[in-house]
Structure 1
């Protein structure tokens, strides 16, 4: 790969591939994924479209693997654009594995790439609206998720296996942890004059999203889509548009925050809570 600005995409499924296409023109692409067949298919597709592509297998929850990926990226050129999309959904894994990949994996990404992102560069973590639907954490729990060293996250008492026994519970905890961890990392990334944000997609038509829709939580997800103002599922391009904005110069004053890309589902959920509280407080309410 010729030395030029580098965009790193971790996780090259539906969203990752759409983001790679959006970012790749005129830059070197470094694609990373645990599944080598998925990685090869993405490399071949993007190379056939004229993109300059390097690949590396990665286990996002292994510190040495993430450190190696960061070192590879830094050796290719200035790392200006980063998108972390890798994760497991509730139908794909047990609670402990979801926490390991979705929470620890993001924490390691934020730590390792804070040391190689170029000045003026930016990163985005793909979180989820599940983080906005999660039960409220105590201030102490939020502080622990924000500041506990990555290697010690699994030992937090409220993440213990005997307490987190459900896949959906683990997923919500991991995703709210992503939002908190990104906010905390903004200062670290800012030391290199770099930015980091998260994007929380709602129901998106990716292979993972379709698997979830066919699973035990599918009915609730479809109800969420039907009640939202947009009244449709999202597309990978909807997410890629948001990521492209946050990584671009139009977002140069935005860091440490989350952009919800869900057709309005979270807004409707919160409105329902407000309506219930208003009725309770006044004995009436207006829908």
Structure 2
């Protein structure tokens, strides 16, 4: 009997929280662009009884993603793909964000769509920031392009290639992730597999602290938290709980969906002054 394999791309707090919930008794293939980022995670997980393998991956490089997919398939049946890797507006310039967050996610879904096991599931971690785009920010033609174009064509789209603002690049990328998930659900369904997106709000991770302490956007994000209906940020375990439900036997009717999990921050943004 083959091992069940959980591929976890990105080694941050959310990735760890999800892996803990769905990785018991399975082989976890942890992938990150930096080997050093995985060392402490492997030590902690191994001592907790998890079977963890690692591989360096650059999601902005198709060959690197193909190598990861090949390695995962060699380890066993790929039952879960958890894609959390990405760059925030405070970490990179616009075109680098687009290459990793937009193009990289499209490549991950395409390549793992070739090897995912029957009844397998993928979860992409998006962002509530995509919900702050104006309703008419993208035309239907542009939305369809983000959802369906071959990944290599995405960065050549005029409205993508011209983006210079890092926050806008992040918002467009995350909107593109949700659209791509919806389109990929059709292809994944032909293999009997599912794929969904979780658009997370401010979850207390190192990346979130970068934003909360950012000179450009920190005050805005702190104000967002204080005015949100729940009055706080979220925890990685809260995202992990939802991911576990979507991945488990009670979530088998869910595919092509985008779950907004932000403590009501988007609701307040739209309706808080009404």
**Aligned equivalent of 1:137:** 138
- How much has 1:3 moved relative to structure 2? 3.8
Q: Which runs of 5+ in 1 are unaligned?
A: 276-286
Which portions of structure 1, spanning 4 or more consecutive aligned residues, are displaced by more than 4 angstroms?
A: none
- How much has 1:130 moved relative to structure 2? 0.9
1:119 counterpart SS class: coil
Q: TM-score, normalised by structure 1?
A: 0.92
**Aligned equivalent of 1:33:** 32
1:81 counterpart SS class: strand
**Aligned equivalent of 1:44:** 43
- How much has 1:228 moved relative to structure 2? 1.3
Larger-gyration structure (1/2): 1
For the 8 Å contact 1:4–1:76, the answer to whether it is kept is yes
Matches of residues 218-233 of structure 1 in structure 2 within 5 Å? 218-233=218-233
**Aligned equivalent of 2:259:** 259
* Cα distance in structure 2, aligned partners of 1:235 and 1:74: 31
- How much has 1:35 moved relative to structure 2? 1.1
**Aligned equivalent of 2:13:** 14
Matches of residues 43-82 of structure 1 in structure 2 within 5 Å? 43-82=42-81
2:120 counterpart SS class: strand
* Cα distance in structure 2, aligned partners of 1:244 and 1:134: 29
- Describe the superposition over 1:155-201 as per-residue Cα deviations: whole angstroms up to 9, x where unpaired: 001012xx311110110110111111111100010010000000011
**Aligned equivalent of 1:150:** 151
* Cα distance in structure 2, aligned partners of 1:237 and 1:67: 30
Q: Which runs of 5+ in 2 are unaligned?
A: none
2:118 counterpart SS class: strand
Matches of residues 264-283 of structure 1 in structure 2 within 5 Å? 264-272=264-272
**Aligned equivalent of 2:184:** 185
Q: TM-score, normalised by structure 2?
A: 0.96
**Aligned equivalent of 1:278:** none
* Cα distance in structure 1, aligned partners of 2:95 and 2:191: 33
